[in-house]
Amino acid sequence: MSDSSQITFEYCKRTLIFNFDAGTSRGVLKTKEVFWIKAFYADQPERVGWGEAAPLIKLSVDDREDFEEILAKTLAEMSGKSFGNTELEVLNELKMTVPFELPSIRFALETAILDLLNGGKKKILGHDFFESRKTIPINGLIWMGDRDFMLQQINEKLAQGFDCIKMKIGAIDFQQELQLLDYIRSRFRKEQITLRVDANGAFAPEDALHKLEQLAEFDLHSIEQPIAAGNWDAMRQLCEATPLPIALDEELIGVSAKAKLLDTIQPQHIILKPTLLGGILETRDWIKLAEERKIGWWMTSALESNIGLNAITQLADSLEVTIPQGLGTGKLYENNLDSPLEIHQGQIRYSSNLQWQQPS
C-alpha cells in the first residue's frame, strides 16, 4: 500500500430508482439515495478510490434530515489527514475519528481509502474474488408483494438456479405466505433448496412462537428478526423456545454493547450489514464475538449501489465465507452503476471481462 497522507475527499449524490415497488414491513420503496465518496491525492487526481454512504431510511442510525450536511462537514474535516499505510492503521484511525453514530460514513471512508491505497481499481479486501478466481454463494431474494408477484419471483429464482431462497414475510396474509413456502417445499427437499425467511420484526411477541411453529413445518434454515428490535427479554425467550433457528438483524443496529446483546439473547445466528453496523472493523468484531459463542453468521447488503455491494462482497471474500450470503441486490435498480459484478446460478462473481462505469 502507498502512503495515505494528504487525501482529499469529495462526494456525489445519486437517487437510485427501483425496477419495481420494493415492499418491506416498513413500507414500499421506490427510490434510494446514495452518496458516493471520492478519495484522491491532490497531485494524482486521476487515481481515485470510491466508497458509498447509503443510510437505510427508518433503520440506519444515521438516517437523519441533515445527513448530507454532516457528510460534507465530515469529509472536509478528513481531507488532508493521514490515515497510515496499512489496512489496520486506516481502519483503526477511522474508528477513532468517525463517530459510531455515523456508520455509513465510516464504512464509505474505509472503502474509499482502501480502494485508493490499492491503486484505485475497486479492490478493497481479499484477493480471489476480485481476481475472478472465486465465486460467492448468495440467496435469491423474494420481495414482499401480493401472492402472484411473490410466486412470480419464486419461479424466476428457481429457474435461475438459486439453491438458497430468502422470502420476506409479514406483508400479506400469513396463510398465503405459508402456501408459498409449501409451493417451494413440495417441489424441493431441504437438501435441494435452502429456505430462509425474513420477518423484519413483523410478528407480535405474543403470537410469534405459534407462527414459528407453523413455519418450522417447512424445514426452514432460519428466520430473521421475527419480532421488533429492542425487546431483548422477549427475543431471548423466543430464541430459547423456538423450533426454528433465529437470526438477529435489526437487533444489532446501533448497539455498541455487542457481547452483552449476544449473551442476553443467545441467538442461533446474526446478520451483518456493514453499512448499518459501522463498517469493516465493527463487522469483524461482531463475527469474533459470535464465533466465540458458536453463533452462526452471514453478511447481507443493505440496498447499496454496486460500489457498496462490491466492498461488502470483498469483505465476505476476505472472511472466507462458505454459506450463502445476502449479496444479490445489484440488479434492483434501473440506474445502478455498470460493474463487473455478475450473478450466475446462485453465485456472485467479479467478471474480468466487464468494466466499471465511473460514478458521477
pLDDT band at 5 (very low <50, low <70, confident <90, very high): low
Same domain, 260 and 329: yes
Residue 168 annotated among the catalytic residues of the structure? yes
Q: Name the active-site residue from 32, 123, 168, 211.
A: 168
pLDDT at 25: 61
Q: Look at residues 72, 90, 117 and tell me which one is the last residue of a structural domain.
A: 117
What CATH number is attached to the domain comprising 78?
A: 3.30.390.10
Are residue 205 and residue 345 in the same domain, yes or no?
A: yes
Mean pLDDT on 269-289: 98
Q: What does the block give as the cell for 207? A: 403470537
Alpha carbon distance 238, 206 (integer Å): 10
Q: Is residue 113 in a domain? A: yes
- The pLDDT value given to residue 1: 47
pLDDT tens, residue by residue, 195-225:
999 999 999 999 999 999 999 999 999 999 9
* pLDDT value of residue 172: 82
- Residue that is written with C-alpha cell 487525501 in the block: 7
Calculate helix-pair angle for 87-97, 103-117, nearest 10 degrees.
150
How far is the C-alpha of 239 from the C-alpha of 267, rounded, in Å?
Answer: 6
- Percentage of residues in the chain with pLDDT exceeding 70? 98
C-alpha to C-alpha distance for 177 and 173, rounded to whole angstroms: 7
Last residue of a domain, one of 61, 89, 117: 117
pLDDT score for 347: 97
Q: Sign of torsion, CA 346 351 354 356?
A: positive
Q: Does the residue 277 lie in any domain? A: yes
Considering the domain boundaries, does residue 129 fall inside one? no
Answer yes or no: do 73 and 40 share one domain.
Answer: yes
The tally of domains found in the chain comes to: 2
100 shares its domain with 148? no
Q: How far apart are CA 192 and CA 164, in angstroms?
A: 9
Residue 251 CA to residue 59 CA, distance in Å, equals 11
Burial (CB < 10 A; 0-12, 13-18, 19+), residue 285, is middle
The residue whose grid cell reads 419464486 is: 154
Q: Which long-range contacts (CB under 8 A, 24 or more apart) does 90-98 make?
A: 90/4, 90/114, 90/117, 91/279, 91/280, 91/281, 92/281, 94/279, 94/281, 95/279, 95/281, 95/282, 98/74
CATH (domain of 339):
3.20.20.120
For 26-55, what is the mean pLDDT? 92
92-99 mean pLDDT: 96
| pLDDT score for 29 | 85
Is residue 125 situated within a structural domain?
A: no
Write down which residue in 48, 83, 117 finishes a domain. Answer: 117
Q: 303 pLDDT exceeds 70?
A: yes
pLDDT digits (tens, 9 = 90+) for 58-85: 899 999 999 999 999 999 999 998 898 8
Q: What is the pLDDT of residues 327-345, one digit of tens each?
A: 988 889 999 999 999 999 9
Say which of 273, 288, 294, 331 is annotated catalytic: 273
pLDDT of 4: 52
Q: Within this chain, do residues 177 and 67 fall inside the same structural domain, yes or no?
A: no
Least confident range from 24-33, 77-86, 133-142, 149-158: namely 24-33
Domain that holds residue 192: 136-350
Same domain, 106 and 177: no
Clarify whether 273 is annotated catalytic. Answer: yes
pTM value is 0.95
**For position 127, what pLDDT does the model report?**
87
